[in-house]
Chain A
Amino acid sequence: MRNPRPAAVWVGVAAVLFGLQAGAVAQLLASGLADAVAALPGVAVPAGLAALERAADAIPTLLSRETIPNRGYYDGSGYVGTFLGLAPDVAWLLRAALIYAYSFVTLGWLWVGYERYRTHYRIADWTPRDDVIDRFRGHRWGLFGVAVVVMFLVMVAFAPALSPTTTAANLENPYSHEITYWTGSGTETVTVGQANLGSGSQGTPQENVGPMQYDDFGRFHPFGTLPGGKDLFTFIAHGSRISLVIGLVSVGLSVTVAIVLALLSAYYKGKVDLGAVLVSDAVLGMPQLLLLIMLSVILSGTWIGKIYSGAFVLALIFAGTGWPAMWRSFRGPALQVSNREWVDAAKSFGQTPTTIMRKHMLPYITGYVLVYGSMTLGGAIIAIAGLSFLGLGVNPPTPEWGRAVNAGQEYVTTASWHISLIPGVLITLVVTGFNALGDGVRDAIDPESDAEEAGGASGRGGGA
């Protein structure tokens, strides 16, 4: 390397940024591993894994509720247990702001790293991808999509740290956790479950905890509470995880199937193509919603139906019914590129079919993959919310956005409007963000493409 300085500086700063959150990463990996093992039927989590989880928890992390706590109580003269004795709302806002600031700084630093690589280390002074990136940088609608998607992803990644309370204490086992609060003349201790009973949002001004308010027990609720008194923000932050996991798994699976089939049918044409058309038509002929309802009922008692509160089965069903539409969208471009002369050229010197598909065809459909993938992801999020709204899909108590909308349905016109409105607006915003990202990517890849052309995928899943 001729000039190691920019790289060294970059790596140094990146290491500091990573170090701030190393504990969270270790925790995530350890708990992910433990969850994966636990998901296997008939396997107990080995003691070693549990120890690993505890060890990971012990690594200090800057942006966590332990470092900047917002839970505490007023003891008549000041706050006890909160960060620097600040009021709980201020402490929470500080933590949330720091988390978002950290995330955007880290992403910005990654971008700086790409630019350093481009100016200092890449041998090619221009690549076709540069044009795509430059076009995307000037695409405001696409950048709006990126901002929304990044904020959503940060919420997913930092759900425990962003929430004012924990799922264990607030949603899952409220009666085995206790809080202390200031009654006006002294402090008292009560279980979270009992506190929740007294802080629900029931539609009347007397029984309502709206956004950015405290309840009677001194707890701060950024988005207010659910009818049962649980914290809506915690519910939404953790619900975003389920939405994203289902979306990613289903889109990932269907995209993989669609790409492989599109490449095979475009390369071999003829009978392979015809077979793929027949199978996809058969799958498209099945009513997706009906299938979803039936399968989620049938599979709800089985081991596969229990993985991740039923979310995994949902993702599989989405993938199984979603790939034909994707394959249809990829097949055209794949056929087009398979007729290009460079494919012939590669055949003429004896390149193997798999390499031809990978090197000479795949790069030309990845653009479509990104576009349709991001748009379908939005569709999947809507579909899952829709199913939960109908009472199907993800089982309680696992939080899911659609269930929050459902819970607040009867309070929409009352003082407790926030229960339905906030998750509803968030769903719309996130889906719009994914669609905007898809639009931006498409325009960046192919500036001449018609804006209407690829938009067909955006409505998918919205019917559920």
Chain B
Amino acid sequence: MSRSDAPTERDEGEESDDGSRSAAGGAGSAAPDPHADDAIVEVRDLRTYYDDDGFLGDDPVKAVDGVSFDIRRGETLGLVGESGCGKTTLGRTVLGLEEATGGEVVSEGRDVASLSGRELREWQRDAQMVFQDPEASLNDRMTVGEIVREPLDAHDWGTPGERRDRVFELLDLVGLIEEHYYRYPHQFSGGQRQRVGIARALALEPEFLVLDEPVSALDVSVQARVINLLEDLQDELGLTYLFIAHDLSVVRHIADRVAVMYLGDVVELGETEAVYADPAHPYTRSLLSAIPGSHTGTDRDRVTLRGTPPSPRDPPEGCRFATRCPAKIRPDEFAHLSGTAWERLDALHTVFRERTNAETGIAERLKRRLGLAVAADDIDEVVADLFGWHPGGGSTAEGLGPDEPLLSGEARAAVESAVNAARRGDDAEATAILTDAFGSVCDERRPEEHRVGDDGRTSACVRHDSGYESPGTVMARRYGRGDD
């Protein structure tokens, strides 16, 4: 009861500006865990593919594609990434809400995916989930009391009287009062509803909670209170959290370690402060530089992530991030090309890739098969826009394209042959020609995890191999301003 008022004293730090919040959060949450090696959940090469059983036998969506990590007892592991990168699916698969396509989730020696009967009930008690949207995750035809009680009923926990008392206890624990037992979710604010969701998740005394963006649907001022509640509960009950979020500042505040996900893959995993202070993977660097105000006072410059992630139905063969990577390895023979030229080559590559994957009508497909005319105008326009010449032989509109020719010699020849393939309607061929000419080791193999730093941090980037410049150096050179 008193707890509902208590968070105000803690809010001060939350509502101040970003800089001091990061500093405070860093000091507060980086405390090393005494049981650092005691894993509560081990995720091994986990894969979750969605097959929408279409008649055409489309490729499955590879939402999670070969992920391995440990969650240590008592820690908070943050899981960040852009929307659609598979972080929610990963959380749901760990709990068994989605069926894993491959790999395993091991907890205390049992593979969670293959549990049944009594062991499954035990796991359902031990691991719970808090959902993103408290509007949607609470059945609004039930009273709060019934909602919180439901897990107890489902597991035949104690006597009905004990269950009732337990619910009152839980409501108090999350900062609600006894009267709320008889109210309906409609009568609560977003923050209070999320407290109900947390109380329900705690009902069966779990050890491990998956928090799926638990505060992203809430107002900023309420976010801080719920985060503080979660931290208090962790201290009090010795909980382990998998905290999924796209808000990097929240993760920095609450997480002990952070895993960065891109297109179904964990690209970097390490102690939160170390990752935030000196990100190893190019994607992490780009992501962190996107936090407003984050580059002030550090040696990093803002690196804008271009474009959108490729479709998880057909991820790039090599490094997942290769299509957008600001530190991508480039072939030596084209070392002389300018940064702008590379940017536009990447853009053209993306266009061809997307055209390959685009859903086309049957008539269009037939035309292509038969080698009939393809609408080449849009390709011509793209090329004119990017490189300043018109492949169809038409004239370039005034003011379109770059001021000076970007490509010459072999580079131009390669682009021309790719464009010609695309004009014939063969976008796959066009993509292959470009990859062939301008690709590198990044397009060929998936990078392994490398240990970086001495605190057990891992990062999956080819540039960590000896013989390559580190991502940080390259990004500073390519995108740095002046001489830093």
Chain A nearest Cβ from B138, distance in angstroms: 6
A351: interface (CB < 8 Å): yes
* 9-residue interface stretch from A90-98, A342-350, A434-442: A342-350
Decide: B139 and A344 in contact? CB cutoff 8 A: no
A359 close to B139 (CB less than 8 A): yes
Q: Chain A nearest CB: distance from B188 CB in Å?
A: 12
Which of A127, A345, A363 contacts B129, CB < 8 Å?
A345
A124-B184, A364-B141 known; A350+B129 contact, CB < 8 A: no
A127-B184, A344-B131, A350-B154 in contact; A360/B139 too (CB < 8 A)? yes
- B29-37, B120-128, B325-333: which one contacts chain A? B120-128
The reply to whether B137 and A124 contact each other, CB–CB distance below 8 Å, is: no
CB distance B182 to A349 under 8 Å?
A: no
Asked whether A126 and B128 contact (CB < 8 A) given A349-B204, A352-B154, A359-B139, the answer is no
* Contact partner, A349, options B133, B138, B154, B183, Cβ 8 Å: B154
A328 to chain B, nearest CB (A): 22
Known contacts A340-B136, A348-B128, A351-B154; is A128 also within 8 Å of B186 by CB? yes
Contact with B along A348-391 (1 / 0, CB 8 A): 11111001000110011000000000000000000000000000
A residues 109-144 in Cβ contact with B at 8 Å: 123-128
Which residues, 94 to 113 on B, are CB-close (under 8 Å) to A?
A: 95, 97
Structural contact, A346 and B131, CB atoms closer than 8 A: no
Contact partners of A355 in chain B: CB under 8 A = 154
Question: With A348-B95, A349-B151 as given contacts, are A342 and B137 in contact (CB-CB < 8 Å)?
Answer: yes
CB contacts (< 8 Å) of B183 on chain A: these are 124-126
- Among residues of A, the one whose C-beta sits closest to the C-beta of B151 is A349
Whole-angstrom distance from the CB of B31 to the nearest CB of chain A?
A: 30
Check B137–A345 contact: CB distance below 8 A. yes
Contacting residues, chain A, for B182 (C-beta < 8 A): 123-125
If over half of A's interface residues share one DSSP class (helix, strand or loop), that class is named, otherwise mixed; here it is: helix
Contact yes or no, A128 B141, CB < 8 A:
yes
Range for the number of chain B residues in contact with chain A:
20 to 34
> In the complex, are the beta carbons of B136 and A341 less than 8 A apart?
yes
Q: What A residues does B136 contact at CB under 8 A?
A: 340-342
In this complex, the member of A124, A347, A360 whose beta carbon has the largest number of chain B beta carbons within 10 angstroms is: A124
A342 contact set on B, CB distance < 8 A: 136-139
**Does B187 lie within 8 Å of A126, measured CB to CB?**
yes
**Bound CA–CA A352/B156 (angstroms):** 12
B200 to chain A: which residues have CB within 8 Å?
345, 349
Q: Which residues of B contact A127 (CB under 8 A)?
A: 143, 184
- B204 surroundings in chain A (CB, below 8 A): 349
Contacts of A128 in B (CB 8 A): 140-141, 184, 186
Q: Which of A123, A348, A350, A363 contacts B141 (CB 8 A)?
A: A363
Pick the contact of A344 from B97, B120, B128 — CB < 8 Å? B97
Docked Cα-Cα span, A360 to B137, in Å, equals 11
CA distance A347 to B95 in the complex (A): 10
Enumerate chain A residues within 8 angstroms of B151, measured Cβ to Cβ: 349-351
State whether the Cβ of B142 lies closer than 8 Å to any Cβ in chain A: yes
Whole-angstrom distance between the alpha carbons of A350 and B96 in the complex?
Answer: 10
Interface string of B281-311 (1 = CB under 8 A from A): 0000000000000000000000000000000
Is the CB of B150 closer than 8 A to any CB of chain A?
Answer: yes
B390-413 contacts to A, CB under 8 A, are none
Q: Is the CB of A349 within 8 A of B128?
A: yes
Partner among A124, A344, A348, A352 whose Cβ is within 8 Å of the Cβ of B143:
A124
Q: How many residues of A contact B (CB 8 A)?
A: 23
**A-chain residues with CB within 8 Å of residue B125 when the two chains form the complex:** 349-350
User: Nearest-CB distance from A119 to chain B (Å)?
Assistant: 15
Set of chain A residues within 8 Å of B128, measured between Cβ atoms: 348-349
B190 to chain A, nearest CB (A): 14
Q: Are B131 and A345 in contact (CB under 8 A)?
A: yes
Interface residue? B155 (CB, 8 A): yes
Chain A nearest CB, measured from B100 CB (Å): 15
When C-beta atoms are compared, the residue in chain B nearest to A348 turns out to be: B129
User: Shortest Cβ distance from B385 into chain A, in angstroms?
Assistant: 41
A347 contacts across to B, CB distance below 8 A: 97
Q: Which residues of A contact B141 (CB under 8 A)?
A: 128, 363-364
Please indicate the chain B residues that have their CB under 8 angstroms from the CB of A364 in the complex: 141
The answer to whether B124 and A350 touch across the interface, beta carbons within 8 angstroms, is yes
In the bound assembly, the distance between CA atoms of A355 and B154 in angstroms comes to: 9
Q: Which of A123, A341, A360 has the most CB of B within 10 A?
A: A341
Q: Are B142 and A359 in contact (CB under 8 A)?
A: yes
Report the minimum CB–CB distance from A152 to chain B (whole Å).
Answer: 31
Q: Tell me which of A123, A348, A351, A360 contacts B97 (CB under 8 A).
A: A348
Given contacts A123-B182, A342-B137, A349 and B150 within 8 Å (CB-CB): yes
CB-CB under 8 A from A359, the residues of chain B are 139, 142, 150
Given A123-B182, A350-B155, A359-B139, A341 and B150 contact (CB-CB distance below 8 Å): no
Would you give the shortest CB distance from B409 to chain A, in whole angstroms? 56
Min CB gap B383→A, angstroms: 43
User: Is A349's CB under 8 angstroms from B124's CB?
Assistant: yes
Q: Which residue of A lies closest to B203 (CB)?
A: A349
B131 in complex: contacting residue of A126, A341, A352, CB < 8 Å = A341
0/1 string, A313-355, CB within 8 A of B gives 1: 0000000000000000000000000001110111111111001
A contact residues around B121 at 8 Å (CB): 350
Residues in chain B near residue A341, CB distance under 8 A: 131-133, 136-137
CB A399 to nearest CB in B, in angstroms, measures 43
19 more CB-based (< 8 A) A-B contacts, given A344-B137, A349-B124: A128-B141, A128-B186, A340-B139, A341-B133, A342-B138, A344-B97, A345-B138, A348-B95, A348-B128, A349-B150, A349-B151, A349-B155, A350-B120, A350-B125, A350-B155, A351-B154, A355-B154, A359-B139, A363-B141
What 9 pairs between A and B have smallest CB-CB spacing?
A: A350-B124, A349-B151, A341-B137, A341-B136, A124-B182, A342-B139, A123-B182, A363-B141, A351-B154
* Chain A residues close to B by CB (< 8 Å): 123-128, 340-342, 344-352, 355, 359-360, 363-364
29 A-B Cβ contacts within 8 A? A124-B182, A124-B183, A124-B184, A126-B183, A127-B143, A128-B186, A340-B136, A341-B133, A342-B138, A344-B92, A344-B137, A345-B131, A346-B150, A347-B97, A349-B124, A349-B128, A349-B150, A349-B151, A349-B154, A349-B204, A350-B120, A350-B121, A350-B125, A351-B150, A351-B154, A355-B154, A359-B150, A360-B139, A364-B141
